[in-house]
Amino acid sequence: MYQQYTTMETALTLQLDFTIPTDHEARLISRFVDSIPAEVLLEETSHTGRPAFHPAMLLKMCLFAYSRSAYSGRKIERMNEESIPMKWLTGDTPVSYKTINTFRSSE
């Protein structure tokens, strides 16, 4: 039998409902990207393998990060982990810096 083991972590209640003010910059970016016609953003993708991230979500991420002077893929990835408005834009979807950089360099 083992002794009780804890990592000295406290139990925190997490609020998973990410809300931001109605006049926040993230909402403006979201409305702007949502107004772009789908045929402009979407292209034919492969029907095999893992489904791709939606280009509108990645564009929202990049525009919001650029508005906050974050230009590297790793900084954008970190912002997605730490920033509530960015989490709101992505639906709290984890995206790696490689995916962000591939999206930014694609046609």
Asked, for residue 31, whether it belongs to a domain, the answer is no
Instruction: Please state the domain count of the chain.
Output: 1
Domain region containing 91:
61-107
Percent of all residues in the chain with a pLDDT value above 90, rounded to a whole number: 45
Asked, for residue 79, whether it belongs to a domain, the answer is yes
Three-state DSSP at 74 gives: helix
Which amino acid, one-letter code, is at 32? Answer: F
Q: Whole-model pTM above 0.85? A: no
Kindly state the average pLDDT of the residues 68-92: 92
Q: Are 33 and 56 in contact (CB under 8 A)?
A: yes
More confident residue, 76 or 13: 76
